[in-house]
Each structure stands twice: as structure tokens, then as C-alpha cells.
Amino acid sequence: MMSDFTEKQTWLQIQRELSLRKLMEGSEYQEELKYDFNIKGELRHLDTKEPFVFNYYKNGHDQNHKRYEVLGHFITQYVYDLLQRVCMLQKVYIPIDATEDEPRSFFFMSENALTSSSCLIILLQDRGVFCAGQWGLKTIVNEGLRHGTQIPFIDRALQSHWEVIVLNTNDNSADLKTGKEGFSAMEEALTSTQAVSCTPRRSSSSPEEHTVYVWDHFISKSTAKDVAFIAHGYGGLVFVDLLLQRKWEVMSKVYSVAFIDSMHNIQHQTRNDPQVKEWIEKHCCEWVSNSKPLNKTVGFVLRVNCPTVSAGTEKYGLAPSCCLHAIFKYLKRMLRVKTFRSSPIATRSSRCERQ
């Protein structure tokens, strides 16, 4: 695995194996999207070396938006390839009892995610058009792979000899009209002038359903005794929904949660369940976009119900990458606290790392 996501030789190796430009070959947008990622993981024009320009067509917002959507789907496929070929994660299709012709969703996990006794990290993204492995498509386009993808988090976890599961909570429907699967179906749907006919994916028709299904059939059955979630934006709401639906299972198996700009609301979601509120207060911490330096206390937010600190940036899209190191420091500290608690000597509950 990568020792540093931004190392030039790492990206030179990636570029030899993977190319965004190669994925675009044969597309009708091939000339309009002459972009690829450089050795720093930044999206740049192949000729001008300039960042992505949205307004390619003058006075053509709809055309520019469709062009951006096509780019987004190429980037999605590119990130999927990175997860499998660089991070060496396995693609797992769900539901596990799907018929041959049934549209399926999928997620990614490390090879020993279900069988290792090591800590298991679950990555839970925000709601939007982006798929597994992405914190935000706009951030990838404007700031690069280092900031917009979950790969640095995966790398950090694997370097710590932990296992990883990457959820795919926004893959909720399938286009049945084209009769195609995967990226070819997505691109055809985008470039077609005909109406797209979509059907919900069984077991993944919503972020909440996808997460509960993966929990029931995979995470809960893993041998890992220590499970942690890193949840961004709407992903925080999805985790709290999981906590409410599988209360005792989650509270016994999950030792900590790192929220990033979470959208969960304790008052609205839990109906003031005292056990859930107490668990969140003791086992969770939230990093929020804020003008304060990284890890400085922002204040106890009632709807969040856990310690809240600054992510070290005011930009929502950069919050995950800016607090990456702080989150893993926190998760490791919470793991040490859990281990110490399980010993004959008890200790007081932990809180977020402070600087």
C-alpha cells in the first residue's frame, strides 16, 4: 500500500496502470473531456494543464451540465478501479440472493474484513451523485483525488493493519431500459434523449436500506471485535438510523464513530431514547467545518449530542481530508480506552483528542 498518497512515484505507478483518458476512449465526449489526473492526483487538461472548466459551451448550461455528469461517471469508474487495483479491495455484490437478471448494488471491502480480529473501519459517505470511494465529486474535480476520495482513509487504515469496508449508499436504482450493466449503461442513459426508466435496487433502494443490509449480512457476522464508523454528512444520519434499528448489536460491536459535518439529529431521530443518547455521547465525536484551528472545541451541539471540534477548514468539501489524521488519532485512542476498560482495571470514558 501507499506510504504517502501524494508521492510522485506512487502516482507514476498508478498512471501506468490506470488512466482516466483511456476510460473515455470511444465516448462521444472524448474530445470535449481531454482531462486526466497528474502525478499529484489533480485533474488537469492534457494540453493546457489547466483545471477543469465547466463552461465549455457558451450559453449552453444544459450541455455543460451533461458534460459534467459524463465526466463524473468516468471518475466514478476510475475510483472503482483504484479501490480494486491500488487499494486491493474486493467488490461484493448485493443482495447475496439476487437472481441472474436482477439489478444488483455492491460495496467494497478488504480481503480479510470478515475474518480478521483486527479493527474494522466502515466508511459511510454523504448523500449525492458520488459513489463508493468518494467523499465528494466536486472536490475531486476541483481539489484532486487526495481530498475528494476516501483512498487516503483506506490507506491509513490498512497501514495500521486494520480492515476496511467501503459502503456504496448512493447506488439506489438501475436503468432497465438499455439492458446494459455498469458504466456503459450509465453513459448511454446520460447521452440518450429518451426518458430513463429506473427501478430501485432491492436491499439498496436508499442509503439507510443499503447500510442495514450490509450490517446484517456482513459487518455483524465479521469476527472483528472492534468496529468503527467514519460518517460524512448524511452518512451520520444513516449511522444513527442503523443504531436505532439494530440498537443492541451496534452498541455492543461498534466502539466509536467519527462524524464529519454530520446531518443526524438526536432529538428528531431517537425520540430522546436515553440509552442511545448516552451511547452517542460516550462513543462519538464530530468534526465540523469551522474557522477555528483543527481539533479546537466548537461547543456541545444539542442535535449532535457528542463532543464537537473543528475540522480545520471552513470548506465543507475539504473537511474529511483536513481532519483525517485527527480522526485516526481519536479512533486509536478510543480503541486503547476500550482495551483498558476490558481489563480488570476500569478507566474513565474518553473524549476527542485536543490540541
- Digit-coded pLDDT (tens) for 293-325: 999 999 766 677 889 999 999 999 999 999 999
Q: Angle 276-278-282 (CA atoms, 0-180°, nearest 5)?
A: 115
Backbone phi, psi, residue 52, to 5°: -60, 135
**SS percent in the chain: helix, strand, coil, step 5:** 40, 15, 45
pLDDT at 138: 95
pLDDT at 92: 97
Residue 267 has pLDDT above 70, yes or no: yes
Which residue carries 456482513 as its cell?
A: 218
241-266 mean pLDDT: 94
Tell me if the domain spanning 90-341 has CATH number 3.40.50.800.
Answer: no
239-265 mean pLDDT: 95
111-136 mean pLDDT: 95
pLDDT at 9: 54
pLDDT at 184: 43
C-alpha–C-alpha distance, residues 329 and 355, integer Å: 11
What pLDDT, in 10s, does the model give residues 46-87?
A: 999 999 999 888 888 899 899 999 999 999 999 999 999 889
Q: Please, which pLDDT band fits residue 40 given cuts at 50, 70 and 90?
A: confident
Mapping DSSP to helix (H, G, I), strand (E, B) and coil, where does residue 250 land? helix
pLDDT at 180: 42
* C-alpha cell belonging to residue 93: 455484490
C-alpha–C-alpha distance, residues 308 and 43, integer Å: 33
Residue 178 has pLDDT above 70, yes or no: no
250-261 mean pLDDT: 97
pLDDT at 315: 97
What pLDDT, in 10s, does the model give residues 209-249?
A: 999 999 999 999 999 999 999 999 999 999 999 999 999 99
150-154 mean pLDDT: 95
Residue 330 has pLDDT above 50, yes or no: yes
- Mean pLDDT over each residue of the chain, to the nearest integer: 86
pLDDT at 302: 67
C-alpha–C-alpha distance, residues 100 and 250, integer Å: 32
Q: Please, which pLDDT band fits residue 2 given cuts at 50, 70 and 90?
A: very low
Residue 349 has pLDDT above 50, yes or no: no
Share of the chain above pLDDT 70, in %: 83
